[in-house]
Structure 1
């Protein structure tokens, strides 16, 4: 018999006994009420026992009861026991996570959906200066107040890390990385890269200094070679042949030094002082003429421009970037190829494209094309006079203009180099573009 039926029979039995007793006393209604009251009193007693157990000592064994109340108390006890076991496991897991986070050398800060700090490890206290006594619950931008970090935090584009000095020690360089998880919560990690930053700065200084020191002797050497070349008819034939090769290699070394110096300046100088709206028609026409001069009529170079706002940037740097892309297209496409310089609108803002219908590039090389001195075909690149730094220069110029480079190419299908500029880098219609001189 089920528990519900047993309780129903108990109710009927008590009501029947009360009714029978009342009938014998010539008060059947009062007897029925007394029977029902006895049933109610029983349930109220069991309910009181349940309440006392849950409020006073829920960890203890449940009070003894029979029937439906006994089954209910047993189920509650098993449920509480299961919850305690689960809670213990979760607490143990959380404790291990905290212990492992404490053992990390990197700072770890947990932020809620509003950006308020909930928890952090000891490394965060050392690197960021957090104090549990008064920083918990405060917004992260109240601590890291650098405008670059505030922009990075609110942009919600955390694909790339951000490098900044520590808010408590400018000599310490930190790399910040934010990860979204859960209900729009954030995990902030900060890594101390001071040593790597110093090594990188030493490398940049070394390259810049060596390039600067090489410029003068190369200029002298090239000058003397040019003087000797003017009197090549007076030299033995075997000397004349070597003189031509020396001039070619000296010119190549001069180009390499100039590109290294430009890269060094792009890496160390924050720039922005010469940014202004540019006349893209004149800029593209100027680069087209230079590309045609380099081509010598072997390729066809054209300009296409759709209605797009003017770009706000450095004339010298943007010219360098698009010239490198155009000159690469001239160098690495066969005679008869068509090269297009294009400025057009884009859903993200606007884009500057250099497209050719040449031999194309194997996709396996594309991720590494912007590395210094990376060459798809070393023999052909050397023969065409390239330095291997052109696309590295393009990448750094675009980074300084909040833009990025996209490359689309397949063997036999040409190549498309697309420079994507955000809407913030475009001039308002009322602004007049600055003239670009060839």
Structure 2
């Protein structure tokens, strides 16, 4: 840039000297100098005007041919224009490839701008959401009016909250027979991406499984009750042959275990089908822990040293029966899997993140590889030992569903051979101090 300025200044000096020398030959050097500088000025303005007209016409064609500093500017600008044009072509080609690839996806992709307005979508989203080309620029919530999705959009796009936000499952707009799963992801300043999946088949299979488990479990209750009644009658009558005592005892034990399994399956089915976060009972944590401790001591038969520690009594809002089931499952598991004489600690404490119910035992412990699968139905770390203890394999699955309905979570810390600590973490908005309650 400095070299160009020096060159233009040198050109100006040369014109001034030449016109001055010519002016001395005529005796009017100052008139000649003014005329030469005027011509130079008009020449510069003419080049500027040509360049400005080229810019005003949308930079069509090559830049105008000029000399001097404006010629250098025109050449540089034209080179930048060609480079920009090549980059633009590359971006367009890349955009076409992205659009072609997303058009082949079975999942719907919707791009949003300006805090929720439709910018672009692929054919799958057009089919699932029933969009039309002239819908661009309109808010997505005009087409998906489910209140849960509207709230989900508000949390993700407007408030920019991403923590603990699961995808939304809802019927397809205008077609209740199809079930869609929608997830909103924010990026950039005012942009978001919506992923739409058709999960109708999975939803129907899951509903079929739930109905089957619930119906079969319900139908098994009556025959199990009859069998248990006759077995109890035979055992208490004293008229059965002596060699029948052991078979009757084993049959009674297995009937009891089967009844527990059916009851747990029915409870799981109810937890899955009922609405989340529906409980509004006011449950005293201290009283609940004392009740659970009494049940654990009854199961232990004084074989374990069980202690209860409640740092701060609180009122926990939720379903009292479900909360009792979750608290008791952890305590009874600690009794079942701890050796005789081992200590078991039930503790409640509160911090900035909320309230925490921890059950610590000194049992066999759990290998870290098993921890992610503990809440799966019928998953057993040690199948033989679990059956000996009389477990159904559904306790932690029930705990998981109870926690989901109470916006809570569970964490597990365990070392094989040294015991485990299961902690239920409840959010602060579920807690109320006993004094204010």
Whether TM-score is above 0.5 comes out as yes
Q: Distance in 2 between matches of 1:344 and 1:116?
A: 45
Distance 1:209 1:128, change over 3 A: same
What residue number does 1:93 align with?
A: 94
CA contact (8 A) 1:144 1:167 kept: yes
Q: Distance in 1 between matches of 2:7 and 2:318?
A: 87
Give the C-alpha shift of residue 48 in structure 1: 2.2
Asked if residue 149 in structure 1 is aligned to residue 155 in structure 2, the reply is: no
CA contact (8 A) 1:16 1:35 kept: no
Offset from partner CA, 1:135-188 (integer Å, 9 cap, x none): 433333343333322333314336532211223222211111222323363211
Distance 1:308 1:38, change over 3 A: farther
TM-score by length of 2: 0.91
Q: Superposition pairs for residues 20-39 of structure 1, below 5 Å? A: 20-39=21-40
Distance 1:233 1:313, change over 3 A: same
Say which of 341, 346, 359 aligns to 2:346. Answer: 341
Offset from partner CA, 1:326-349 (integer Å, 9 cap, x none): 111111111222222222223332
| Range that drifts further, 207-216 or 87-96 | 87-96
CA contact (8 A) 2:331 2:359 kept: yes
Give the C-alpha shift of residue 412 in structure 1: 3.1
What residue number does 2:126 align with?
A: 125
The CA RMSD over aligned residues, in Å, is: 2.3
* Partner SS state of residue 164, structure 1: strand
| Range that drifts further, 261-270 or 162-171 | 162-171
Say which of 203, 207, 214 aligns to 1:208. Answer: 214
Q: Distance in 2 between matches of 1:396 and 1:148?
A: 20
Q: Distance in 2 between matches of 1:424 and 1:167?
A: 33
Asked if residue 380 in structure 1 is aligned to residue 385 in structure 2, the reply is: yes
Give the C-alpha shift of residue 315 in structure 1: 0.6
CA contact (8 A) 1:277 1:427 kept: no
Asked if residue 393 in structure 1 is aligned to residue 398 in structure 2, the reply is: yes
* Partner SS state of residue 379, structure 1: helix
Q: Distance in 2 between matches of 1:396 and 1:40?
A: 84
CA contact (8 A) 2:284 2:313 kept: no
Q: Distance in 2 between matches of 1:56 and 1:205?
A: 70
Asked if residue 12 in structure 1 is aligned to residue 13 in structure 2, the reply is: yes
Q: Distance in 2 between matches of 1:197 and 1:262?
A: 20
Q: Distance in 1 between matches of 2:218 and 2:365?
A: 36
CA contact (8 A) 1:21 1:28 kept: yes
Q: Distance in 1 between matches of 2:117 and 2:58?
A: 37
What residue number does 2:224 align with?
A: 218
Give the C-alpha shift of residue 44 in structure 1: 1.7
Give the C-alpha shift of residue 265 in structure 1: 0.8
What residue number does 2:158 align with?
A: none
Distance 1:352 1:185, change over 3 A: farther
* Partner SS state of residue 98, structure 2: helix
* Partner SS state of residue 111, structure 2: strand
* Partner SS state of residue 171, structure 1: strand
Give the C-alpha shift of residue 191 in structure 1: 0.7
Structure 2: gaps spanning 5 or more residues = 156-160
Say which of 155, 164, 175 aligns to 1:169. Answer: 175
Give the C-alpha shift of residue 27 in structure 1: 4.0
Give the C-alpha shift of residue 121 in structure 1: 2.2
Q: Distance in 2 between matches of 1:34 and 1:386?
A: 109
What residue number does 2:246 align with?
A: 241
Offset from partner CA, 1:22-67 (integer Å, 9 cap, x none): 3444444433332322222222222222223333363423333344
| Range that drifts further, 82-91 or 147-156 | 147-156
What residue number does 2:329 align with?
A: 324
What residue number does 2:137 align with?
A: 137
Q: Distance in 2 between matches of 1:304 and 1:143?
A: 53
* Partner SS state of residue 321, structure 1: helix
Distance 1:274 1:14, change over 3 A: closer
Distance 1:414 1:206, change over 3 A: same
| Range that drifts further, 384-393 or 402-411 | 402-411
Offset from partner CA, 1:386-417 (integer Å, 9 cap, x none): 00000000011111111122212122342121
Q: Distance in 2 between matches of 1:370 and 1:222?
A: 30
